[in-house]
Amino acid sequence: RYRYYQNVCAQSYSFAWWDWARWEREIDWMALSGINLAPAFAGQEAVWQRVYRNLGLNQSEIDKYFTGPAFLAWNRMGNLRRWAGPLPPAWHFKQLYLQYRIVERMRSLGMTTVLPAFAGHVPQGILRVFPRVNATRLGHWSHFDCTYSCIYLLDPEDPMFQVIGTLFLKELIKEFGTDHVYSADTFNEMTPLSSEPAYLSRVSNAVFRSMTGADPKALWLMQGWLFQHQPDFWQPAQVRALLHGVPLGRMIVLDLFAESKPVYQWTESFYGQPFIWCMLHNFGGNHGLFGTVEAINQGPFAARRFPNSTMVGTGLVPEGIEQNDMVYELMNELGWRQEPLDLPSWVLRSVYNCTGVCVNHNRSPLVRRPSLRMDTELWYNASDVYEAWRLLLSAGAELGSSPTFLYDLVDVTRQAAQQLVGDYYLSIRQAFQSRALPELLTAGGVLVYDLLPELDSLLSSHGLFLLGRWLESARAVATSDREAEQYELNARNQVTLWGPSGNILDYANKQLGGLVLDYYAVRWSLFVSVLVESLNSGRPFHQDQFNQAVFQVERGFIYNKKRYPAVPAGDTMEISRKLFLKYYP
């Protein structure tokens, strides 16, 4: 029945700065791909602000709650507050305008829009206005302390739960109309206050009732991420309780990471609630060739054959887009098929076929903070990528004018360079551990002064691999210099430190022209010189001391005030060929 698309995180990792022209392209692509169910989440903060003001909160209490634009996904799920905020009034106007157009276009193309609903999280100001309200602070999220996390959760039995939830949804429906499907995530990566099944049923029932209070036909779409993220808490009894707080058939669960960690198999098909088999594939919008094609090709069909299966669709739920396009084409194709495809005819293997439990988070030393304990493991033969690189270059004369060919050439050259960085790292580590100064200087010198600058110029030659494109799109949303500065800092922080002190450091790493040279390469340069200094002085290398020093470099990048070009420069073919002649193993 459904072909679903979009991950709540992608709203921040990929869509944060989009204008209508970019949204229009995406919605066209969705239509061409047969997507018929997708979230429309823009503009919700404007509606929430209206609701909070009507309830008696003042602006400063609201400003202490919303995060900046690049982090709203986690504010909406009750993980994060205030960080990189507040949201300027102009932001709300622009997002409302976008949302009108988004829902209008999606519906005109026959898609069912999913609107946000109330999950129970509230600003602290609610406790001032309603001192008797029963709300509890959740714990801290990820590596953030209570300065920016520990959000209040309303007790499901508290009458204000229904008042706030229904008020918000009525306001939202009045504004945008509805297709009767709503999304809410109460416990995304957050441990519930009690593991009592009765409590968990009360929470999900309260969320559902606040939906039906505004729309009697409401269907709740819920991410199933929590069940596989905290399996120790979510035992069968807890999962069943949460799912059965809602009448059967009135909830659809997204089995979010089904290609690697399916939940339907150990929950008797979500205990009777319908579910969508989703491919997550990508974390943080990282670059890096990756796929689990055999798992994808078999998974949805196995889920349909599962005893008493309640599967009602397939879905694409990457945390970030604009990478590994072919894998998404494959997944879209499967939504239409009765049985698995013939993979050899899709020429997908090797780097695209990670087997076992695969988590595609780019761990290459290229995009991680340097240390002596870095992971260089690959799930494929490095030689396959080098051979693909050679073959692509040999077709250059024939295909050099094709934009899609040039995109692939950059992507495969980038992957080859990423592998080479891993090799140079191993040489650096080996030289340091065997106290071989000349070898350390050679390997470190080649990495810092040639390979990384060359990779940066390769990426700078293609429009889709520019740091400037990300930063300038952030500035373009602004209506004043002050906003432009705030938005640019949001954009820079997200792809690097992800928080004030590297709380989720490099989670959303990207390989972009400008970022490689002024962020990753500067870190490597510091690492190599600290190792050289350690050999010269005979003092041991201390990771903690290095981390403190390198943090200044990372933070320095965020505040460097440099404007990066949003237009490519240089000849992609030529740069790739030059790299090839120097580095092809």
Q: Any idea what DSSP says for residue 466?
A: B
Model confidence at 75, pLDDT cuts 50, 70, 90, reads: very high
Residue 115: what pLDDT?
98
Tell whether the model's pLDDT for residue 367 goes beyond 90: yes
Residue 358: what pLDDT?
87
Within 13 Å and on the Cβ side, how many CA atoms surround 231? 6
- The rounded percent of the chain whose pLDDT value lies above 70 is 100
Amino acid at 319: E
Do 27 and 102 meet the contact criterion of CB atoms below 8 Å apart? yes
Q: What is the pLDDT of residues 393-446, one digit of tens each?
A: 999 999 999 999 999 999 999 999 999 999 999 999 999 999 999 999 999 999
Tell whether the model's pLDDT for residue 347 goes beyond 90: no
- The rounded percent of the chain whose pLDDT value lies above 90 is 97
Q: What is the pLDDT of residues 196-235, one digit of tens each?
A: 999 999 999 999 999 999 999 999 999 999 999 999 999 9
Model confidence at 381, pLDDT cuts 50, 70, 90, reads: very high
Q: How far is CA 60 from CA 71, 86, 124, 133, in A?
A: 19, 9, 11, 20
Model confidence at 76, pLDDT cuts 50, 70, 90, reads: very high
Residue 180: what pLDDT?
98
CA distance 244 to 240: 6
Within 13 Å and on the Cβ side, how many CA atoms surround 175? 27
Neighbours of 217 (CB within 10 A): 11
Q: Could you tell me which of 346, 359, 539, 531 has the C-alpha nearest to residue 448?
A: 531
Neighbours of 433 (CB within 10 A): 11
Buried b (16+ CB within 10 A) or exposed e, 477-492: bbeeeebbebbbbbbb
Tell whether the model's pLDDT for residue 356 goes beyond 90: no
Q: Lowest mean pLDDT: which of 113-117, 191-195, 260-264, 279-283?
A: 191-195
Residue 348: what pLDDT?
84
The torsion angles phi and psi of 328, rounded to 5 degrees, stand at -70, -35
List the domains of the chain with CATH numbers: 2-275 (3.20.20.80), 365-465+511-583 (1.20.120.670)
Cα-only R_g, the chain: 25
Q: What is the pLDDT of residues 264-287, one digit of tens each?
A: 999 999 999 999 999 999 999 999
Q: Which long-range contacts (CB under 8 A, 24 or more apart) does 377-383 make?
A: 378/419, 378/422, 379/351, 379/354, 379/355, 380/350, 380/351, 380/353, 380/354, 381/350, 382/419, 383/585
CA distance 469 to 463: 7
For 54-64, what is the mean pLDDT?
98
Average pLDDT of the chain?
97
User: Locate tokens 């599967």: which residue?
Assistant: 311
Tell whether the model's pLDDT for residue 93 goes beyond 90: yes
- What is the pTM assigned to this prediction? 0.97
Do 204 and 161 meet the contact criterion of CB atoms below 8 Å apart? no
Q: Are strands 251-255 and 181-183 parallel, antiparallel or unpaired?
A: unpaired
Residue 519: what pLDDT?
98
Residue 329: what pLDDT?
96
Model confidence at 346, pLDDT cuts 50, 70, 90, reads: confident
